[in-house]
């Protein structure tokens, strides 16, 4: 059960509600986010919800039988919109394109990508400065120095930044320089990181784990929300299977299923999802048609020279066509 409390509820009223939640056999968890104040009741007992609903200070109450609660569509029917400022809004009715290199490599590279994004009216640039790599000897990113450069060039050009955070200790140093924190597939169930991002208040794009179920992804998002941050989007980026003709299996089934289960925006990453640049476009178009709220993909001025993930990175010409076609597909979808 979820109870939304009225804004500025007096402590005595809240205490009465907490006592009543316990009396009907539920464990009460208090959650305060940037938007509202809730009590999440955990339990299975049957009781008349009206006894709680009529208490002073209750703004709204619902039963939510899912394991995850606050991110469930059973609690909130209206889709969540994430406002990054300057007219950049992610979620229902908008199709968000986030593009850029796998890794931030140099000032010149950022300038070229920014120029490409601006020419195509793309408002969000991706690029990792802390890179999770399978080999410890591979390029692991430019770190904070790269982030500062990334931020300087993007903010001067009205472009928002999404970049991966790998550990709790990085959040404080990164928070003023990012618009969206990315949680990578390998950290999808790093619960300490998720807790801390709940407190950090900046929007979070949470990727599905390499072998993660949708239930695990949703529960991971619940960690962030229940720690105080409602600005979450989910990302399907492909899962591991026995198939080795491509890097991962982009599970587009996840898009309509997640959209039905949660009010959070759903983004698709076709680059990591298939891992082969020639097929990024068809899978992106399929993602649009499946109902995605946006796509995040890798582009680079010279993919064959990229420091990481060049094999799945499209060049600017391919990127331009991709952007045009995704927008056409989105218009078509909206016209259905």
Per CB under 5 A, residues contacting Mn ion are: 102, 309
d(CA 89, CA 220): 23
Residues between 114 and 173 that touch ligand PEP (CB under 6 A): 128, 132
Residues between 258 and 317 that touch ligand PEP (CB under 6 A): 269, 272
**Taking the CA atoms of the chain, what radius of gyration do you get in angstroms?**
21
For residues 327, 330, 201, 181, the Cα torsion angle rounded to the nearest 10 degrees is: -50
**C-alpha distances in angstroms, 219 versus 45, 188, 239, 295?**
22, 10, 17, 22
User: Smallest distance, Å, CB 186 to ligand PEP?
Assistant: 6
Answer for which of 1, 5, 98, 185 binds ligand PEP (CB under 6 A) is 185
Burial class (CB in 10 A: 0-12, 13-18, 19+), 181: buried
User: Smallest distance, Å, CB 298 to ligand PEP?
Assistant: 7
User: Smallest distance, Å, CB 88 to ligand PEP?
Assistant: 19
* Nearer to ligand PEP (CB atom), residue 62 or residue 133: 133
Burial class (CB in 10 A: 0-12, 13-18, 19+), 245: exposed
**# of chain residues touching ligand PEP (CB under 6 A):** 10
User: Smallest distance, Å, CB 309 to Mn ion?
Assistant: 4
Q: Which stretch binds ligand PEP (CB under 6 A): 59-67, 88-96, 178-186, 252-260?
A: 178-186
d(CA 77, CA 235): 20
* Nearer to ligand PEP (CB atom), residue 14 or residue 247: 247
Q: How do 27-32 and 37-42 pair as beta strands?
A: antiparallel
User: Smallest distance, Å, CB 164 to ligand PEP?
Assistant: 6
Q: Residue 237 in 3-state DSSP?
A: coil
* Nearer to Mn ion (CB atom), residue 60 or residue 318: 318
Q: What is the largest CA-CA distance in the chain?
A: 65
Identify what 184 binds: Mn ion, ligand PEP, none; CB under 5 to 8 Å per kind.
Answer: ligand PEP
Residues between 223 and 252 that touch ligand PEP (CB under 6 A): 237
What does the DSSP 8-state code read for residue 236? E
d(CA 285, CA 277): 14
Residues between 39 and 98 that touch ligand PEP (CB under 6 A): none
* Nearer to ligand PEP (CB atom), residue 61 or residue 149: 149
Answer for which of 69, 207, 259, 261 binds ligand PEP (CB under 6 A) is 207
Contact call for residue 37 and ligand PEP (CB under 6 A): no
């Amino acid at each position: 059960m979820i109870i939304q409390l009225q804004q500025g509820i007096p402590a005595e009223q809240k205490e009465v509600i907490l006592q009543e939640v316990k009396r009907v056999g539920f464990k009460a968890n208090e959650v305060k986010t940037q938007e509202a104040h809730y009590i999440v009741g955990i339990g299975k007992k049957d009781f008349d919800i009206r006894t709680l609903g009529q208490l002073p200070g209750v703004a709204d109450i619902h039963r939510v039988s899912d394991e995850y609660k606050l991110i469930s569509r059973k609690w909130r029917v209206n889709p969540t919109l994430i406002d990054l400022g300057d007219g950049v809004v992610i979620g229902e009715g908008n199709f968000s394109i986030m593009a850029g290199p796998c890794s931030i490599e140099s000032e010149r590279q950022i300038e070229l990508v920014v120029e490409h994004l601006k020419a195509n009216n793309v408002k969000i640039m991706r690029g990792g400065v802390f890179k999770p790599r399978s080999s410890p000897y591979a390029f692991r990113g430019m770190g904070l120095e790269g982030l500062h450069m990334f931020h300087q060039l993007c903010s001067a050009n009205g472009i928002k930044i999404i970049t991966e955070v790998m550990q709790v200790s990085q959040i404080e140093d990164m928070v003023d320089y990012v618009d969206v924190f990315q949680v990578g597939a390998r950290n999808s169930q790093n619960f300490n990181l998720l807790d801390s991002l709940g407190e950090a208040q900046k929007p979070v794009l949470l990727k599905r784990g390499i072998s993660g179920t949708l239930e695990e992804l949703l529960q991971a998002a619940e960690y962030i929300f229940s720690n105080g941050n409602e600005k979450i989007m989910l990302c399907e980026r492909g899962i591991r299977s026995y198939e080795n003709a491509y890097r991962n299996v982009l599970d587009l089934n996840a898009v309509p299923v997640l959209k039905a289960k949660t009010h959070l925006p759903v983004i698709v990453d076709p680059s990591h999802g298939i891992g082969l640049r020639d097929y990024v476009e068809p899978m992106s178009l399929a993602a649009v048609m499946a109902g995605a709220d946006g796509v995040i993909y890798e582009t680079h001025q010279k993919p064959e020279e990229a420091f990481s993930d060049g094999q799945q990175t499209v060049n600017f010409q391919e990127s331009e066509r991709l952007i045009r076609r995704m927008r056409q597909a989105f218009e078509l979808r909206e016209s259905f």
